[in-house]
């Protein structure tokens, strides 16, 4: 079965099933379609399925126009009917793995979907998990489920873990050019998995096990989270010293070795950095190990919105105003520049905190016209158009996300008071505060 499946993949005769058509799954669908594979997209959200089959994308930076032609050619369709799993040769799971309110892994999306998927599987398929999770998930969750269903992994079914490495809005790297880590439950599984990704990714990096592959992704994001926490902490220190942290980082970056620049901000956002390191923290407890760096980084990064609120209060105070009853415009509610992804965005936390203190908060974001429904928050808001007249109405403009589409000259000219968390503006204006 292994050789038959490998040959089907190499000859573009295999059909690919992608479960979860979000920020990870949709780019993968497009990549396999570009490589002339037949693809079935699985998502419980029928609105997404209908949009894709009409050639529309619900993610700003992803162009899905070509999907309509593939749909007409019967190369692609999207469905919520998981019985169609039996019709594909490869199943790739791209589902979210959030944290519970107690910072424990919530694998419900994976567990519930795996039960449905496996109930419709047949011999001769490969199952790949891409969701970021703690080391051991594939072996501890998926292996027993496949074995209970009567499969012999490595013989009549193949199981791999290959973590997603998407970076939304990054023009330099895309799904094809970002190297792909792949670990298999057995050597045969690894061989099938590497083949599955080799046909659409420029470089596939095989590792010795699924646990190693799982740990790789956690390491990548923990590395970033810890270093961002370091510069966030130093931002608070330099503020007290009257120094510009962005100038310091820029100068330090001229060193051609031994230094990698990370930049401070109002807190961590996105589905990865605020969440993934705590999957490792949770797993470490099983081995009676305390991940002190991760915990400390989490404390620093999660405290940044409070620091920003404090800076807003001080800035308003310099204009003889308080946060209560002030009109505050937040620029950017996406978690990073030039994307429409608001998951875990610190801007949302800031809206909540400032509103609780009595501020009248609105936002402007060219990528998010209406405030989305999030797991923890929802505000009845629409993006404010950035005109001179509109900006002038606010007591304070708070820069949270530095989208390139923002007219910074207009903002600096029109705003009465600006608090900048991204180091976008020059600080030769007494009405501009660095936070």
The pLDDT of residue 429: 75
Residue 428's pLDDT is what? 66
Q: Please check whether residue 363 is in contact with residue 389, taking contact to mean a CB–CB distance below 8 angstroms.
A: no
Active site residue 94: no
Give the sheet arrangement for strand 204-206, strand by strand: 76-79, 38-42, 15-19, 90-93, 125-129, 157-161, 180-184, 204-206
pLDDT tier, 193 (very low <50, low <70, confident <90, very high otherwise): very high
Q: Which domain holds residue 109?
A: 2-213
Does residue 372 share a domain with residue 281? yes
Q: Which of 245, 299, 294 is nearest to 267 (CA)?
A: 299
- Is residue 197 a part of any domain in this protein? yes
When pLDDT is averaged across residues 405-434 and rounded to a whole number, the result is 91
Q: Do 83 and 119 fall into the same domain? A: yes
- Residue 231 is assigned to a structural domain of this protein: no
Rounded to 5°, the CA angle 253-254-257 comes to: 80
Catalytic site residue from 94, 182, 272, 396: 272
Does residue 308 lie within any of the structural domains? yes
- Report phi then psi at 276, rounded to 5: -55, -45
Q: Are residues 190 and 249 in the same domain?
A: no
One domain, residues 141 and 82: yes
If one counts the domains in the chain, the total is 2
- DSSP category for residue 138: I
Q: Work out the number of other CB atoms within 10 angstroms of the CB of residue 29.
A: 27
Is 226 contained in some domain?
no
Please indicate, yes or no, whether residues 419 and 295 belong to a single structural domain of this protein: yes
Task: Label residue 219 exposed, middle or buried (CB < 10 Å: 0-12, 13-18, 19+).
Answer: middle
Domain CATH code at residue 375: 3.40.50.720
* pLDDT at site 171: 83
Do 81 and 199 belong to one domain?
A: yes
Q: Looking at residues 291-314, what average pLDDT do you find?
A: 96
**pLDDT score at 430:** 79
Percent of the chain with pLDDT over 90: 86
Structure confidence by residue, pLDDT tens digits, 160-189 = 999 999 888 788 899 999 999 999 999 999
Query: Is residue 179 one of the residues assigned to a domain?
Result: yes
365 touches 383 (CB < 8 A): yes
Check the CA dihedral 289-292-298-299 and report its sign.
Answer: positive
Based on the domain organization, do 56 and 180 belong to the same domain?
yes
């Amino acid at each position: 079965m292994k050789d038959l499946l490998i040959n089907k993949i190499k000859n573009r005769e295999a059909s690919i099933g992608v479960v979860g058509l979000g920020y990870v799954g949709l780019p993968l669908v497009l990549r396999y379609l570009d490589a002339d594979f037949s693809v079935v997209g699985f998502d419980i959200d029928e609105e997404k399925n209908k949009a894709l089959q009409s050639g529309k994308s619900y993610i700003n930076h992803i162009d899905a126009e070509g999907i309509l032609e593939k749909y007409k050619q019967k190369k692609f369709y999207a469905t919520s009917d998981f019985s169609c799993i039996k019709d594909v040769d490869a199943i790739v799971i791209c589902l979210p793995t959030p944290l519970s309110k107690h910072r424990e892994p919530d694998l419900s999306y994976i567990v519930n979907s795996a039960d449905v998927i496996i109930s419709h599987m047949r011999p001769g398929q490969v199952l790949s998990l891409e969701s970021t999770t703690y080391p051991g998930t594939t072996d501890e969750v998926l292996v027993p489920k496949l074995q209970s269903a009567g499969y012999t992994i490595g013989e009549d079914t193949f199981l791999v873990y290959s973590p997603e490495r998407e970076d939304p809005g990054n023009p330099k790297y895309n799904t094809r050019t970002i190297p792909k880590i792949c670990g298999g439950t057995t050597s045969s599984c690894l061989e099938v998995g590497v083949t599955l990704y080799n046909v659409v990714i420029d470089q596939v990096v095989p590792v010795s096990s699924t646990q190693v592959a799982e740990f790789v992704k956690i390491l990548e994001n923990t590395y970033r989270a810890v270093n961002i926490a370091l510069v966030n902490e130093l931002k608070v220190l330099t503020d007290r010293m009257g120094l510009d942290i962005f100038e310091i980082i820029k100068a330090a970056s001229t060193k051609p070795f031994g230094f990698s620049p990370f930049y401070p901000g109002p807190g961590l956002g996105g589905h990865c950095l605020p969440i993934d390191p705590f999957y490792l923290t949770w797993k470490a407890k099983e081995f009676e190990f305390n991940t002190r760096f991760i915990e400390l980084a989490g404390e620093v990064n999660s405290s940044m919105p409070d620091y920003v609120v404090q800076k807003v209060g001080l800035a308003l105070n310099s204009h003889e105003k308080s946060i209560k009853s002030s009109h505050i415009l937040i620029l950017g509610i996406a978690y990073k520049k030039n994307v429409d992804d608001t998951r875990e965005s610190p801007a949302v936390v800031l809206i909540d905190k400032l509103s609780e203190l009595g501020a009248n908060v609105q936002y402007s974001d060219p990528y998010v016209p209406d405030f989305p429904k999030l797991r923890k928050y929802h505000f009845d808001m629409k993006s404010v158009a950035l005109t001179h007249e509109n900006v002038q109405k606010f007591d304070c403009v708070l820069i949270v996300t530095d989208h390139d589409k923002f007219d910074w000259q207009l903002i600096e000219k029109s705003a009465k008071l600006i608090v900048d968390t991204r180091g976008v503006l020059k600080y030769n204006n007494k009405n501009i505060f660095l936070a």
